[in-house]
């Protein structure tokens, strides 16, 4: 088999890259070790930046997003007995976020690629990359060989793309946090119109949503927590304790139909390329979910890579490809800082650290009282312009 670009991983990054390359007339094959059903049902992030929404719409895969996505022009910071709304429409006019599950984006992209005759190989085994330091790399899987000119590693943190780079080439920057998120989906109408980020002495909580009838909740829990330790009754009790801190607010409850644990880590590798291999999305960087940047960073990577590959296949120019990593990392490190800042602002790190909690409350008061501080939060949250 032959193609111009071999794409490893059928997540948002790989599928969007394949779609954008198709619009340029560039061929690609997407290789994914999981089944299509697994990929389409995998619950992940649900907050899309303004730029991500614009890109999906402009590329022709945003019709369902515009119809079903929930556009939000603000978020609420809740701490003590206070509730402060960060108003995007006032602070960053014309820019907002849209709540639309990552799995829904994946479904839309798969449908678009298959409708256009795209080649997506689901459920493949024994994937390996070869010759990435030369001009004719290739991929093997399941006894087959796929020759290509470029490989895009979009297969996530645990994929095979990054480990295929020779040892010592990449530099990793990491930070692990001493807590995790317990996330649940419940069949209940959201109790608020916008996301609520709650800071309490018992730990962080987030009230979010997926649709007018499905709500998404997160609780800060210790590292090593097991899902089995949290039956429904305990989850609802803790959510009420952390969220019902403002007069007049009552948390609606319902059937919890999915739950899982999300480790909290920050991770970046530099550079994001080696030879003819280009890493994108979680294969190159991870952010804690507090800032809602994971999938949006993957889309930003793909935007840069698509343009670089367009120039390369149009006239052989390598300037944009050579500068791919540098261009992406500027945005990656900005998002890393914002995600770290949101995480340290809103989570309890040490139950005995009264000094640290006072600093957090002081900073929350500053965001609530300073237009400049609130604007910084707002412009980073909705996504910096391309």
Tokens of 235: 């989850």
pLDDT, position 44: 74
Give the domain 177-264+348-382 fold: D-Amino Acid Oxidase; Chain A, domain 2 (3.30.9)
Q: Strand, helix or coil at 175?
A: strand
CATH code for 5-72+97-174+265-341? Answer: 3.50.50.60
Domains 5-72+97-174+265-341 and 177-264+348-382 share a fold: no
pLDDT, position 283: 98
Domain residue spans of the chain: 5-72+97-174+265-341, 177-264+348-382
pLDDT, position 285: 98
pLDDT, position 147: 98
Q: Which residues are catalytic?
A: 72, 197, 289, 293, 381
Is residue 10 a contact partner of residue 34, using CB atoms and an 8 Å limit? yes
Q: What is the DSSP string of 184-235?
A: EEEES--SSSS-EEEE-TT--EEEEEEETTEEEEEEEEETT--GGG--HHHH
| Phi, psi dihedrals of residue 338, rounded to the nearest 5° | -65, -45
pLDDT, position 386: 85
Cα separation, 171 vs 177, whole angstroms: 20
DSSP class of 306: H
In order along its 386 residues, the chain shows pLDDT tens digits of 999 999 999 999 999 999 999 999 999 999 999 999 999 988 777 899 999 999 999 999 999 999 999 999 999 999 999 999 999 999 999 999 999 999 999 999 999 999 999 999 999 999 999 999 999 999 999 999 999 999 999 999 999 999 999 999 999 999 999 999 999 999 999 999 999 999 999 999 999 999 999 999 999 999 999 999 999 999 999 999 999 999 999 999 999 999 999 999 999 999 999 999 999 999 999 999 999 999 999 999 999 999 999 999 999 999 999 999 999 999 999 999 999 999 999 999 987 789 999 999 999 999 999 999 999 999 999 999 88
| Phi, psi dihedrals of residue 53, rounded to the nearest 5° | -60, -45
Cα separation, 205 vs 290, whole angstroms: 10
Q: What is the pTM of this model?
A: 0.95
Cα separation, 192 vs 215, whole angstroms: 10
Closest CA to 239 of 187, 188, 204, 289: 204
């Amino acid at each position: 088999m032959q193609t111009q670009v071999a794409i490893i991983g059928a997540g948002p990054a790989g599928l969007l890259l394949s779609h954008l390359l198709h619009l340029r007339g560039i061929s690609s094959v997407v290789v994914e070790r999981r089944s299509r059903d697994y990929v389409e049902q995998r619950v992940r992030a649900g907050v899309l930046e303004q730029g991500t929404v614009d890109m999906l719409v402009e590329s022709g895969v945003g019709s369902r997003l515009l119809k079903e996505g929930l556009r939000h022009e603000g978020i609420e910071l809740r701490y003590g007995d206070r509730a402060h709304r960060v108003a995007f429409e006032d602070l960053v006019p014309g820019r907002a976020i849209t709540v639309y599950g990552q799995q829904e984006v994946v479904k839309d992209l798969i449908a678009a690629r298959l409708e256009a005759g795209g080649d997506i190989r689901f459920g493949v085994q024994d994937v390996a990359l070869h010759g990435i330091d030369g001009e004719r790399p290739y991929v093997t899987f399941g006894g087959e060989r796929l020759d290509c000119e470029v490989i895009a590693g979009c297969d996530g943190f645990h994929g095979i793309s990054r480990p295929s780079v020779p040892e010592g080439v990449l530099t990793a920057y990491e930070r692990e946090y001493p807590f995790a998120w317990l996330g649940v989906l419940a069949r209940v109408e959201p109790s608020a119109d916008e996301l609520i980020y709650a800071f309490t002495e018992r730990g962080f909580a987030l009230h979010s949503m997926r649709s007018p009838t499905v709500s998404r909740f997160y609780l800060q829990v210790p590292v090593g927590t097991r899902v089995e330790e949290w039956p429904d009754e305990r989850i609802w009790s803790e959510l009420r304790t952390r969220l019902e801190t403002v007069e007049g607010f009552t948390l609606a409850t319902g059937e919890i139909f999915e739950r899982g644990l999300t480790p909290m880590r920050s991770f970046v590798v530099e550079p994001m390329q080696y030879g003819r291999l280009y890493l994108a999305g979680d294969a190159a960087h991870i952010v804690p979910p507090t800032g809602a940047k994971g999938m949006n960073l993957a889309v930003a990577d793909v935007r840069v890579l698509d343009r670089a590959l367009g120039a390369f296949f149009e006239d052989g120019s390598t300037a944009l490809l050579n500068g791919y990593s540098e261009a992406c990392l500027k945005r990656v490190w900005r998002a890393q800082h914002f995600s770290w800042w949101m995480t340290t602002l809103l989570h309890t790190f040490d139950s005995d650290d009264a000094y640290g909690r006072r600093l957090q409350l002081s900073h929350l008061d500053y965001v609530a009282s300073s237009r400049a501080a609130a604007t910084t939060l707002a412009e980073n949250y909705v996504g910096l312009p391309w």
